Amino acid sequence: MNFLKSKLSLEHKITTSSQVFTKSNNLTNSNNDKSRETEDLYSDKIRDGQWFWNTNTEQIFSQDQIVAVGHASAKSVVPLELLRYIYLQPHDRIYDPKTHTISYLQTRTYLPVKSLPPREKKRVLVTGGAGFVGSHLVDRLMLMGHEVIVIDNFFTGRKNNVGHWIGHPNFELIRHDVVDPFLIEVDQIYHLACPASPPHYQYNPIKTVKTSVMGTINMLGLAKRVKAQVYGDPEEHPQAETYWGNVNPIGPRACYDEGKRVAETLTYAYMNQDCVDVRVARIFNTFGPRMNANDGRVVSNFIMQALKGEDLTIYGDGLQTRSFQYVHDLVDGLILLMNADYKEPINLGNPDEYTIREFAELIISEVNSSSKIKTLPAPKDDPKKRRPDIRRAEQILGWKPRWPVKQGIGETVKYFQRQLEAGLI
C-alpha cells in the first residue's frame, strides 16, 4: 500500500527585491550528508506537491521504522514525514549567520488538513498550546481537520511553535493567562497550561500554584458552562494510577507537585458535583522537538551540551533511573483518552528504564561528540526511580509507546541542530 504519495521538488527558489535565496536539500553540516539528503527530500513537497494519507490506516511501521503516528480508532493517523516537515524546517524565514539577522517572508502556504463533515469537526481549545507538548497536539488536531483555539501566556510557550498555523481558517492564537477567566464555545478542552520544568515552575512558585489551581477551576467552569469534554494533566515503583503520591509539601517541587494533586481533586469534584465530562492523564517524562533548550531537563541539557562540545552534567551518581517517552507517543495517548469513555486517571509514559548515566552516554554517541561526563551534587527531593505502570492505558485505550528511545533521541538531536543552524537558539 502506498501510504504517502507526493510530487518531489528538491530545490525551491525564493526571490526578494534585492536577492535570490536558494533553498537546497544539501545542508552545511557534511558529517551526515547522506542521511540529511534523505530527510530533506520532503522539504518542498508542501509547496510543489500533493499529500495523501488515510487517517484510518493501521500502517505505522515500515521495515522496523516508524512511518506514521496516531491510531486508526481515533482517526488520528498522520504521516511522520509530514510532522517532521513542520518541526525540522524553519518556516518563512531566512537566517544570515554572518550578520545575525532574520528575514521573514510574506508568502504563506499552509499544510494540507483533512476536510471533515460538520458533524465530525470539533472546536478544540488547547491551553498552553504554544508549549512543547501543546504545540505537537495542535499540529495533530489541525491535520485531523478540527478547529483549534490556542491560549497561552508565552511564559514558557513560543509563538514559533505554532507560527506555521497562524492565519489558517481553522486556527486561532490568543495571548491569555488561564489564571484569568476565559469565555468561548468549544467541544473539547485540553488543559496543558503549567510550567513543567524545575527552573520554570520554581522561578515563581506562587504563580505556578495559581496556574494549577485557578487555571484548572477556570477551565472546568468553562467545560461546565458549554458542556465540553475536558482533559487535565496532574513514591511507588512502578507508579500505578492507584498510587496517591509521596510529596514534600514544603520542598522546592511542592508548588508543582501539590498544584497537580489539587488540580485532580478539583477535576473529580466538578465531575461528581456538576457532571462535567472529564479525563485525567498522568504524564511521565516526555522529550522531543520543541523542548526548550534552557529548561533544565535531562534530555535538552545533555543534547545542548553535547552539540556545543561541553561536558555533560549529571547530578548525583547518575544511577537514578528515568523513563522517557517520545512526544508523538504522548499525543497519541492524549487523543485516545479524550475520545474514550473513561473517567479514572491513566498513566501515559514509557516503562523502559534508563539510568541518567546511560542516557548521557547514548546522547554523546548519537551526537558523535567528544564531551565527557561530570558529576555534581544531587538536588533536594530528586527521586531515585520514576517509572509508570501503563497496564491501564494498554487495557482501556489500546495504547503503549511505539517509539524506541534511540530513534526519538535522533529526531530530537536533528531538531536542535536545525535550530542552531537557523539562529533560533
Q: For the residues of 227-293, what is the DSSP string, one character each?
A: T-EEEE----SSBPTT------TTSTTHHHHHHHHHHHHHHHHHHHHH--EEEEEEE--EE-TT--T
pLDDT for 334: 96
What cell numbers appear for 374 in the block?
561530570
Rounded to an integer, what distance in angstroms lies between the CA atom of residue 73 and that of residue 58? 9
Q: Tens digit of pLDDT for each residue in 298-316?
A: 899 999 999 999 999 998 8
Indicate the helix (H) or strand (E) that contains 327. helix 327-338
Rounded to an integer, what distance in angstroms lies between the CA atom of residue 425 and that of residue 420? 6
Kindly report whether the peptide bond that precedes residue 345 is cis, defined as omega within 30 degrees of 0. Answer: no
Q: Tens digit of pLDDT for each residue in 309-339?
A: 999 999 888 888 888 999 999 999 999 999 9
Query: 3-class DSSP state for residue 411?
Result: helix
Rounded to an integer, what distance in angstroms lies between the CA atom of residue 190 and that of residue 264? 14
Average pLDDT of span 76-83 = 87
Q: Tens digit of pLDDT for each residue in 1-50?
A: 333 333 222 223 222 223 322 333 333 333 344 334 434 444 444 444 44
315 is catalytic: no
pTM of whole model > 0.85?
no
**C-beta neighbour count of 30 within 10 angstroms:** 8
Q: For the residues of 77-133, what is the DSSP string, one character each?
A: -EEHHHHHHHHHS--SEEEETTTTEEEEPS---PPP-----TTT--EEEEETTTSHH
Residues facing residue 358 across a β-bridge: none
The pLDDT mean for the chain works out to 78
Rounded to an integer, what distance in angstroms lies between the CA atom of residue 152 and that of residue 275? 27
Task: Please enumerate in sequence order all residues whose Cβ is within 8 A of that of 234, keeping only pairs 6 or more positions apart, or say none.
Answer: 260, 261, 263, 264, 267, 280, 281, 282, 345
Sign of the C-alpha dihedral, residues 112, 27, 361, 66? positive
pLDDT of 52 strictly over 60: no
Q: Give 294's pLDDT tier (boundaries 50, 70, 90).
A: confident
Residues facing residue 149 across a β-bridge: 125, 172
pLDDT for 377: 86
Q: What phi and psi values does residue 103 have, to the nearest 5 degrees?
A: -105, 125
Rounded to an integer, what distance in angstroms lies between the CA atom of residue 82 and that of residue 3? 12
The residue among 111 and 21 whose pLDDT is bigger is 111
Report the percentage of the chain scoring pLDDT > 70. Answer: 73
Active-site annotation holder among 42, 190, 201, 256? 256
71: amino acid identity, one letter: H
Listed range (46-50, 154-158, 352-356) with the worst mean pLDDT: 46-50
Average pLDDT of span 179-185 = 93
pLDDT of 104 strictly over 80: no
